[in-house]
Structure 1
């Protein structure tokens, strides 16, 4: 890769990171238009890396390209959200059924530590990301990395939906409650109780997921 290609790739990564943070933090609302001229000025990049970044974000389900209207933050219907949660639940049940007798909990313990730190710092976006990482690590314990990758892509889209309510959730729920829920899930995984794991995962529904 030449220096010019490396620079362009770095600009793409920058744009993906900035736009992804805006979307998943709720700073950019679902359906909001993403105007190239405004974004190139704000990000300080040309149109080529911006368009590649938008293409990558579209692959992640965070951006939609509308014919003759340009790009916008992805939208989800009620049916989309319900179906995403149904897929999430199917993947979780499969992963729980595949858990080894003595799983390595190092990554799961680290994800929980990040969640506690984000809670103390009051960083809602990092907390939401930490919740997602924790759940992905639970599923990854099942030993199927392809399934874990698919599962994470589902959670990213759910996080897009939940980001709309992040500010309100921060006012009506204690961030520490989310840590306590995940501590209970960790204890269930550590204890190897499949029924308890499924029960705790069931408590992380549409209303609870990012609280």
Structure 2
């Protein structure tokens, strides 16, 4: 629960996490909260300051961009496999997930849109490599939440909906190159993939 709230921006970078507040919020005991915070600290999602407590980790811009680049490399690296392996049923599911995202544009919350976007990116599981899917999910935990950093305007959210449609079309046509390009476009703020 704490992890989910960090990923979705409900617990913002830099926010102090008082254990008593977390116990009340998540209806659990102090030992459970402490174990959760220690696990999150190991993943560098929260930072522990001796004699002060825990706060949500605030990555610097360099680190955040580098983690995002790793994710892009992994996702675009399997785009051809996704496009080549997708069945009609897979494409139909992606269309349903994209339609749900569009439906939420009208009256959904930013959190609901974020979760619908994550569901759409189920397309990564079509690569057939579950270890890679798990690794990308873990990497996703080390980057800022989309509602906070990516979707700063309504136009950007609507652009994400169009990108979903373009990704589906690339999958339908078996065009891994186009799908890879679209997956890379989804993270415009990361800059070049290689050092300059």
TM-score when normalising by structure 1:
0.74
| Deviation for aligned residue 1:182 | 0.9
* Equivalent of 1:146 in 123, 131, 136: 131
Q: Compare relative contact order (CA 8 Å, sep 6+) and give the higher one, 1 or 2.
A: 2
Corresponding position of 1:114: 100
Counterpart contact for 1:63–1:73, Cα < 8 Å: yes
Change (3 A) 1:185 1:67: same
Q: Give the one of 179, 182, 186 matched to 1:200.
A: 182
Q: Say if 1:25 and 1:163, in contact at 8 Å, map to a contact too.
A: yes
- Is 1:189 aligned to 2:174, yes or no? no
- How many equivalent residue pairs? 187
Q: Extract unaligned runs of 5+ from structure 2.
A: 191-196
**Residue 113 (structure 2) aligned to one of 119, 122, 127:** 127
Q: Distance in 2 between matches of 1:184 and 1:129?
A: 20
Query: 3-state SS of the aligned residue for 1:45?
Result: coil
Alignment of 1:30-179 (within 5 A): 30-58=13-41, 61-99=44-82, 101-104=84-87, 105=90, 106-135=92-121, 137-160=122-145, 162-165=146-149, 169-170=152-153, 173=155, 175-179=157-161
**Greater shift in the superposed pair: 144-153 or 57-66:** 57-66
Long gaps (5+) in structure 1: 1-15
Q: Which range moves more in the overlay, 21-30 or 119-128? A: 21-30
Q: Which runs of 4+ in 1 moved over 6 A?
A: none
Matched-pair contact (CA < 8 Å) for 1:60–1:153 = no
Secondary structure in structure 2 of the residue aligned to 1:169: coil
8 Å Cα contact 2:82-2:123 kept in structure 1:
no
CA–CA distance in structure 2, aligned partners of residues 100 and 29 of structure 1:
36
Deviation at 1:100, TM superposition (A): 6.1
Change beyond 3 A, Cα 1:201–1:44: closer
Deviations 1:150-203 (A, max 9, x none): 11222233243x44447x714x53533221111111111111112211221122
Q: How far apart are the structure 1 equivalents of 2:10 and 2:110?
A: 12
